[in-house]
Amino acid sequence: RGENHKNSARRKGAKGVAMDANKNKTKNKNKIEELYVKAQIAIMSDQYEQADGFFAGIVALAPRNPEYLDAYGSFLAEYVPHKRQEAIEYLKQACDLEPSTGFEKFMYLGQVLDACGRAREAEAAMRTGVEILRRENDAQNSNGEFLTSALCSLAELLMGLIHDDDDMMDACYASASALPELSEVEALLEQA
3-state secondary structure 53-95: HHHHHHHHHCCCCHHHHHHHHHHHHHHCHHHHHHHHHHHHHHH
Confidence of residue 152 (pLDDT cuts 50, 70, 90): confident
User: Measured in whole angstroms, how far is the alpha carbon of residue 115 from the centre of its chain?
Assistant: 15
Confidence of residue 53 (pLDDT cuts 50, 70, 90): very high
Q: What is the DSSP letter of 99?
A: T
pLDDT value of position 54: 98
Mean local confidence (pLDDT), 100-104? 93
Rounded Cα distance, 84 and 73, in Å: 8
Q: Which residues of 59-81 are buried (b: 16+ CB within 10 A; e: fewer)?
A: beebeebbebbbbbbbbbbebbe
Confidence of residue 85 (pLDDT cuts 50, 70, 90): very high
Assess whether pLDDT exceeds 60 at residue 10. no
Confidence of residue 159 (pLDDT cuts 50, 70, 90): confident
Give just the sign of the alpha carbon dihedral 123, 79, 71, 52. positive
Percent of the chain with pLDDT over 90: 55
- Tell which wins on pLDDT, 31 or 159: 31
